[in-house]
Structure 1
Amino acid sequence: MRAGLLNRWDVAVAAAITVATVAPPAVTGHPRWWLLALGLAASVPVAWRRQALLVVCLVVGPATTVLALCPDLGPLFVPYGALLCAYTFAAHGTRRLQPVAITICAAGVLITLVVPRESFDTARVVVTEYVAVFAIGGGIRARRDREAADAERAQRTAEARAAAVQRERVRIARDMHDIVTHSVGLMIVQAEAGPVVARTDPARAEAVFDTIAATGREAVDQLRVMLGALRGQAGREPVPGIDAVAELVARTGRGALRTSLTEEGERRPLPPDVGVAAYRIIQESLTNVVRHAGARSVEVTLSWTDASLEVRIADDGGGTGASGPPREGHGLLGMRERAQSCGGTLAVDPRGFTVTASLPAPGRPAEHWPRPRSAAAGG
């Protein structure tokens, strides 16, 4: 125990208690050196109670008990050091040792009251003093614990809010990527094919330009919904889900790429996040097929099982041509994150651009749900 570890408040309190404890033996008329030594032992160590509380209690407690049993002191002696140690133990002591400390303290108080045959009034005062300091210390500990719990709860709330903001930023970035890359990529491909088709097949050219216009309108509508959500406004159009997949596949196949949609099993309602994930995975896969695969046809398959929806997008293009897993850009990474966010999985076949997603679809099949068994477009 080094003096450098003490603060001024502890030293001042210890000095005051030392004076109050040593004074009664000094004024008894027959001061004895061992009474003065016991008074110092019952008071001076309290200066180190914050650094070594248990050791201080083991020194102050017995010294206080012996002084209280001394008949020469009588009512002049007040156990200031022991009371301060009791308060400190209640406010800062280890919870595991508190029952032991209370038991030892109670035993010491009982000895100092029974052996000298103290009166009931004296016993009541002494017991009240110890109960009061324990109660004050316990109240301060409870307040400190409550403040710490409030601070921890506030920190957890702040961390949860920050995590929610980050997740929302990632979701918005993912949606922006899906909307812009799919719509703009499809519009570019259709616009490049438009002049060629216009010279050979005017009717088909008209369908190509209609597809460009429809794709642009859909992109604008979805961006308007997203920006409205950022402003705290309700979107005017619903978020696309599984029921919009047929139109997505058909619109993609209005150009040179042939598309088909096959659905197996009984369709049933999906949680909103699962429906959006399925739509965005199909949308991003079709975008990759149009922009990178060099394919002539692509097939989208929805397979409903008892507990999941299996989504498969396969084309007849060259794929990545790599022997290992393909390098994941923002598109593939976004698809994987969408699948994982709703408890599903996603796999990409490196030998060809084949994407397979397994998404949770609990519940029973919906009755009277309109569903095409098979659809095809393009050609």
Structure 2
Amino acid sequence: MTTSSARTTLVVDGIGAALFLALCSLYAFVGGWQDVVVVVLFSAALALRRVATGASLAVAWLAACTQMLLLRDLQPADVAVFLVVYATSAHGTRPVRWWGLGSAGAGAVLAALYLAVVQPVADGIPLAGVDVLGRITLGVILFGAALAGLVLAWTVGLLVRTVRGAREQQRRAELDRREREHAEYRYVVEQERSRIARDMHDVVAHSLAVVIAQADGARFAARTRPEAASEALATISGVARDALGDVRLLLGELRHREGAAPQPVLDDLDALVAQVRGAGLDVRRTERGERVPLGAGHQIAVYRIVQEGLTNALRHGDVAAPVSLDLDWDPAGVTVAIRNALGAGDGRDPAEGPPAPRHGIPGMRERAELAGGTFAAESADGSFAVVARIPAQVGA
């Protein structure tokens, strides 16, 4: 129980105990100051019954013993005993709960002895000549009635505690389920965002690389070869228009669920290579072996890896040197290898990326690994190579 909830509970129980004191005092003032003391002690026990159940049980015992020592009769305030015993099983700790059950038995014994033996003597009824069997019978009846009432109160409290615990477990299970569903939802959203980010990078980076290469060529050929500049501008317009369409598709996926947007397949590699060649890159494509079926996701992975590899060659490599694109097929899948010469003065390892953070190499590696394959990128002897292995899968 937190500090604020304990304070609220104490205030509520204090108000209830004050009302109990006000009602029982009407009888206590008639009996005298002794009954007033007993009522005050019982009211204090009621005020503490939920925030300090052990202390409440002790105060209730003090009140009952005080009542018996003062030789007072039964009074309405004695109802507090049942409420405190109930509280020990409903709100107390494990030791307090068993102390409450033990108090029910001990209290029943003391109540029977007090009412059957002590109080009659205090009222002036001598033991001599009293029907012993009748007195014993009365004591047994009083003991049974007190025990039944107190144990019933304790049992009801235990039942309420069990029901409350079951509801709390259900509430926690529901909270855990919601947290798990929320975590799964966030994971799915993050995966979708990563996929769309990879597609955006592949589309925009590739298209901009082609546009930049064509724009540079048009700028140099504008004076001497106007027709070449015109062709370059036409290529720039077509590439930019296609890129705009791809970006619109990706933006549509951000607003709606994925599924309707077309995705590239292996047959689109011809158009991709032709586009890069039109940008001035000498791509030498070689395909060996017989193609095996690939799933839609695996075909997308192959296409995007080739696209990013050729884009890196166009942006960072020596565009005057040929670029090799090899697809080696076997029954287990396909191996994609792209090799290009490094640009002049570029002695840095392209696999490490430029000083500013980039997404090309990590994106290719992530695509290959998500398809169940492997990826490697390395530079050596003035050239840079990426090799991806995409396993076979039944086509979708």
Q: Which residue of 2 aligns with 1:314?
A: 339
The verdict on how the C-alpha distance between 1:350 and 1:89 changes in structure 2, with shifts beyond 3 A counting, is farther
Partner amino acid for 1:90? A
Partner amino acid for 1:219? A
Q: Which residue of 2 aligns with 1:244?
A: 268
Asked if the contact 2:287/2:326 (under 8 Å) is kept, the reply is yes
The verdict on how the C-alpha distance between 1:241 and 1:59 changes in structure 2, with shifts beyond 3 A counting, is farther
Q: Which residue of 2 aligns with 1:262?
A: 287
Q: Which residue of 2 aligns with 1:226?
A: 250
Q: Which region of structure 1 is more displaced relative to structure 2, 251-260 or 180-189?
A: 251-260
Q: In the aligned structure 2, how far is the partner of 1:131 from the partner of 1:225?
A: 67
Asked if the contact 1:278/1:311 (under 8 Å) is kept, the reply is yes
Q: In the aligned structure 1, how far is the partner of 2:50 from the partner of 2:376?
A: 60
Q: Which residue of 1 aligns with 2:361?
A: 332
Q: In the aligned structure 2, how far is the partner of 1:265 from the partner of 1:23?
A: 103
Which of these residues, 156, 163, 176, is aligned with residue 200 of structure 2? 176
The verdict on how the C-alpha distance between 1:298 and 1:134 changes in structure 2, with shifts beyond 3 A counting, is same
1:291 aligns with 2:315: yes
Q: In terms of Rg, which structure is larger?
A: 2
Alpha-carbon offset, residue 199 of structure 1: 7.9
How much is the aligned-residue C-alpha RMSD, in angstroms? Answer: 5.0
Asked if the contact 2:316/2:343 (under 8 Å) is kept, the reply is no
Partner amino acid for 2:352? P
Q: Which residue of 1 aligns with 2:133?
A: none
Q: In the aligned structure 2, how far is the partner of 1:226 from the partner of 1:102?
A: 64
The verdict on how the C-alpha distance between 1:339 and 1:73 changes in structure 2, with shifts beyond 3 A counting, is farther
Structure 1: which 5+ residue stretches go unaligned?
370-379
Percentage identity across aligned positions? 26
Asked if the contact 1:310/1:358 (under 8 Å) is kept, the reply is yes
Q: In the aligned structure 2, how far is the partner of 1:260 from the partner of 1:241?
A: 17
The verdict on how the C-alpha distance between 1:235 and 1:113 changes in structure 2, with shifts beyond 3 A counting, is closer
- What are the within-5 Å matches in structure 2 for residues 351-362 of structure 1? 351=380, 352-358=383-389, 361=391
1:105 aligns with 2:114: no
Alpha-carbon offset, residue 289 of structure 1: 0.7
Structure 2 length normalisation: TM-score?
Answer: 0.64
- What are the within-5 Å matches in structure 2 for residues 358-373 of structure 1? 358=389, 361=391, 363=393
- What are the within-5 Å matches in structure 2 for residues 1-379 of structure 1? 6-7=7-8, 8-16=11-19, 31=34, 36=37, 43-44=43-44, 47-48=47-48, 52-53=52-53, 55-56=54-55, 59-60=58-59, 63=62, 73-74=73-74, 76=76, 78=78, 80=80, 83-84=83-84, 86-87=86-87, 90=90, 97-98=93-94, 101-113=96-108, 116=112, 117=140, 118=142, 123-143=147-167, 146-147=170-171, 150=174, 153-154=177-178, 157=181, 161=185, 164-190=188-214, 192-193=216-217, 215-216=239-240, 218-232=242-256, 238-254=262-278, 255-262=280-287, 267-270=292-295, 272=297, 274-295=298-319, 296-302=321-327, 310-318=335-343, 320-322=346-348, 325-327=352-354, 328-339=357-368, 346-351=375-380, 352-358=383-389, 361=391, 363=393
Alpha-carbon offset, residue 69 of structure 1: 8.6
Q: In the aligned structure 2, how far is the partner of 1:233 from the partner of 1:127?
A: 62
Structure 1 length normalisation: TM-score?
Answer: 0.66
Q: Which region of structure 1 is more displaced relative to structure 2, 17-26 or 109-118?
A: 17-26
Alpha-carbon offset, residue 62 of structure 1: 5.1
Residue deviations 1:261-319 (CA, integer Å, cap 9, x gap): 435676333362x4433322321221111122114222334456787765432213349
Partner amino acid for 1:297? P
Secondary structure at 1:238 match in 2: coil
Which structure has more relative contact order (CA 8 Å, sep 6+)? It is 1
Residue deviations 1:195-233 (CA, integer Å, cap 9, x gap): 859989x9x999978866764554344234323333438
Quick check: which one's helix share is greater?
2
Asked if the contact 2:205/2:311 (under 8 Å) is kept, the reply is yes
Alpha-carbon offset, residue 339 of structure 1: 4.5
Secondary structure at 2:352 match in 1: coil
Asked if the contact 2:57/2:84 (under 8 Å) is kept, the reply is no
Q: In the aligned structure 2, how far is the partner of 1:311 from the partner of 1:86?
A: 76
Asked if the contact 1:297/1:315 (under 8 Å) is kept, the reply is yes
Partner amino acid for 1:83? L
Partner amino acid for 2:100? C
The verdict on how the C-alpha distance between 1:108 and 1:217 changes in structure 2, with shifts beyond 3 A counting, is same
Alpha-carbon offset, residue 179 of structure 1: 0.9
Asked if the contact 1:241/1:275 (under 8 Å) is kept, the reply is yes
Work out the number of aligned pairs and report it. Answer: 351
Q: In the aligned structure 2, how far is the partner of 1:198 from the partner of 1:261?
A: 37
Q: Which residue of 2 aligns with 1:373?
A: none
Q: In the aligned structure 2, how far is the partner of 1:260 from the partner of 1:221?
A: 27
Residue deviations 1:114-156 (CA, integer Å, cap 9, x gap): 6633376655544443333444444455545555555565555
Q: In the aligned structure 2, how far is the partner of 1:85 from the partner of 1:243?
A: 81
